[in-house]
Amino acid sequence: MSTQNLPVIPLRGITVFPNMVISFPVGRESSLKAIDEAQKDGGRVFLLAQRDVKNNDPQAEDLYTIGTVAVIKQVLKLPGNITHIIVEGVSRGKTESMLIDDFITSDVTLIKEDSADAYENDIQAQALMRCANELFDEYIRLNKRMPQTDTMLTTVSAKTPGEAADNIAAGLDIESNIKQKILETLDPVKRLEFVVERLSNELQILRLKSEIEAKVRSNLDASQNEYYLREQLKVIQEKLGDKDSMQSVVEELREKAKAKNLPETAGKTVEREIDRLSKMQSVSPEANVSRLYIEHVLELPWTELTDENTDLKKAEEILENDHYGLKDVKERIIEFLAVHLNTGEDHSSIICLVGPPGVGKTSIAKSIARATGRKYIRMSLGGIKDEAEIRGHRRTYIGAMSGRIINAMKQAQVMNPLILLDEVDKLTNSYNGDPASALLEVLDREQNNNFNDHYLEIPYDLSKVLFICTANDASTIPAPLRDRMELIDISGYTIDEKENIAEKYLYPKQLKFAGLEKKQLRLESGVIDEIISGYTREAGVRQLERMIEKLCRRGVIEILEGRKKSIHVTKKNLTEYLGTRKFMPEKKSNAPMVGVVRGLAWTSMGGVTLEVEAGTMKGSGKIELTGSMGDVMKESAKAALSYIRSNSDKFALDGDFYKNTDIHIHIPEGAVPKDGPSAGITMATAMISALTGAKVRNDVAMTGEITITGRVLPIGGLKEKVIAAKMIGIDTIIVPSENEPQVKDIPDTIKKDLEFVRVSSMTEVLNNAVARGESVWR
């Protein structure tokens, strides 16, 4: 054995054998310098494999000791500054000592092998070589990725067992660490025996793969190419002895079903569906649908319950702390709690909170959930026009899913949550069905213990759910649905209530959101009242909260910019923060006028006052109605005129006045639509005043429906109307006698300093509306 000092090139994941020609890229600077050094002296290098391929700077201990001495045949400089070298292995070598500087050098002992003459009479070696050649020939034929002719010729031409082993090892598709083990086996015969053993293992794998492919092809028709891959996977799993993945899924679902404690009907349905699933192939689309259905059923709550609050006083405290006023709502919730605690059953009717926007209907529902200790789920119904949104889609449809009710229960994960059905008056119907009709079963205590969702197809118990609905206008809720609910009216807030809500809730809340302390933004007494009257016109407090939020934002800007350390908002500087007033204060007329009467109306935003004007002129008996009046209001005007015509002699009017006099009724703010019958007596009074010349009191407002015989019928929204009248300084309000119960329900703080006149006929209306010293009678 001879020793040479050679440059070393560390290899990552590559094993080079003697007599093997191979090319590979070289990127490390040290390896490039080793190549340059080798080319100065015959081009010989020592190729050593790394133990860890991820190591970018290998040291002596990071390299194997047995490698291959090779000759560099060619160095290629490729585009992108990439270097490739072609080398040919010469012989094995063993490193004796290494020196690491700019590159690695090593003293290498060349390992010589016996010549062919030494094996000429070795029958065992000859037989081993023939066996290896035959096995490798089959390996090449089965492994389609290998170049067959050149590789086989190189192997057949080998004269010694060691050379045959090296040639075969170079052509095998095996791990680099196994190839390194072959390289380190110095005994040629043992090396060939080890290679034959590995070759036999690889052949078994290739034969099995070929068998699998043949079996799969035999099960397929020519048109089933896509199915081929699935069958191949199945056969592979069978050969490997793996448990079928679908069976593991089925077992997992069975365990979940047992742990879920399902009701009898649900349990049988799930068990039947799991049995169906077990007979399906895992790649079948129907299997995925079935699996999703089972998982959906098992994710629903069937017996789980929330521990509810049993302390009535604590519930009262929560409701009081969260909301100002709203006495009726709070009393109703406490009643529900008391009965529930006393009986342990939920027999209460469905509550529907009705009121204009911004009065706190949604936030009340949250407070009720806190007070009762239930989970809170909000479900918006606004704009829903498909029945399937409520009851779900049948599983026969692609992409079917359960309805919103069942999904809400899945989200709650308990059987007794509080579900808020928000904007129930905004439901619409279409060719897809009527969602309001689908809600009938949900909101009926006699039926919802067996609610049927089309997707679920299992009766589901909703009787323990506390449903609360909200609506702006109860009249738009379909009658059958409205009949299932207990309506609780939440009217608009008075100025005093708004001030209290702003000071106790909105102002502290917005200070916290803006990151301010109370001393950094102080509001002078009367500022909130100024904001209410000058910047908001609403029944609730939503716009008021936005204005307070704007004040806080402007305050934060001034403090951060260093202009002020604290902000003091007064009535005088309020416009600096909120801009000019948006609404000028509405006031009653300065004096009694002819043909001008103050009416009261209800809108979705609360109560408003309407100044109804009537004028007469010579003409042909036409009646002109302007001011965006709706059909009902126009009909009220015609009913009022019929009353006047039938009683023209009592008003000292010409019997033919309707033939030669035109009457024009106008309600200002013509861009705002107006409708409803409650302006009937107002329009009648205005016309009678215009026709007779009698003035109408400026401190009186009125509301009521009129008939052609002069009777006055009751109206709705009285509280909101009274609030609107009081805000502009009205002293006397004329209301229908049949509205007396509603008058009694109005809080004393609102009725203070107001006189209510109950009337049942137009005669009583006119006697109280006409100014002192005036008369409309003959």
Closest listed residue to residue 681, CA positions, set 702, 696, 665:
702
Which amino acid makes up residue 168? I
Distance CA 492, CA 475 (A): 17
Q: Active-site residue among 30, 678, 689, 695?
A: 678
User: What are the Cα distances from residue 21, in Å, to 15, 137, 140, 277, 777?
Assistant: 11, 20, 19, 56, 127
How much of the chain is in helix, strand and coil states, percent to nearest 5? Answer: 45, 20, 35
Single-letter amino acid code for the residue at 725: A
Please tell me the distance from the alpha carbon of residue 456 to that of residue 413, in angstroms, as a whole number.
Answer: 16
Q: Is 176 a catalytic residue?
A: no
CB 111 within 8 Å of CB 3: no
Number of helices (H) and strands (E) in the chain: give both, helices first. 29, 26
Strand ordering across the sheet containing 466-471: 376-380, 418-422, 466-471, 350-354, 485-489
d(CA 517, CA 454): 54
Q: Are 69 and 183 a contacting pair, CB within 8 Å?
A: no
361-372 helix and 312-322 helix, angle to the nearest 10 degrees:
150
> For this structure, is 721 an active site residue?
yes
Amino acid at 524: E
Question: Under the phi-then-psi rule, with left for phi > 0, alpha for psi from -120 to 50, and beta for the rest, what region is 562?
Answer: left
> What Rg do the C-alpha atoms of the chain give, in angstroms?
47
Compute CA 107 distance to the chain's CA centroid, rounded to the nearest angstrom.
70
Is 516 in contact with 563 (CB distance < 8 Å)?
A: no
Q: Which two tokens stand for residue 369?
A: 């959930």
- Please count the residues of the chain: 778
Closest CA to 91 of 64, 114, 118: 114
With H, G, I as helix, E, B as strand and everything else as coil, classify residue 597: strand
CA 20, 21, 25, 29 dihedral sign is positive
Quick one: tokens of 76?
């290629």
- In degrees, to the nearest 5, what angle opens at C-alpha 229 toward C-alphas 224 and 231? 80
φ, ψ at 31 (rounded to 5°): -70, -35
The one catalytic residue in 260, 674, 721, 726 is: 721
Contact between residue 34 and residue 8 where contact means Cβ atoms under 8 Å apart: yes
Compute the distance between CA of residue 681 and CA of residue 637 in angstroms, rounded to an integer: 9
**Cβ-based neighbours of 184, under 8 Å, separated by 6 or more:** 64, 66
Give yes or no for a contact between 388 and 407, defined as CB atoms under 8 angstroms apart.
no
Q: How many CB atoms lie within 10 A of CB 177?
A: 12
As to burial, measured by CB atoms within 10 angstroms (0-12 exposed, 13-18 middle, 19+ buried), residue 438 is buried
For the chain, the farthest-separated pair of C-alpha atoms sits apart, in whole angstroms, at: 153
| Number of neighbouring beta carbons within 10 Å of residue 383 | 10
Regarding beta strands 451-452 and 44-49, do their DSSP bridges make them parallel or antiparallel, or are they unpaired?
Answer: unpaired
Which residues are the active-site residues? 678, 721
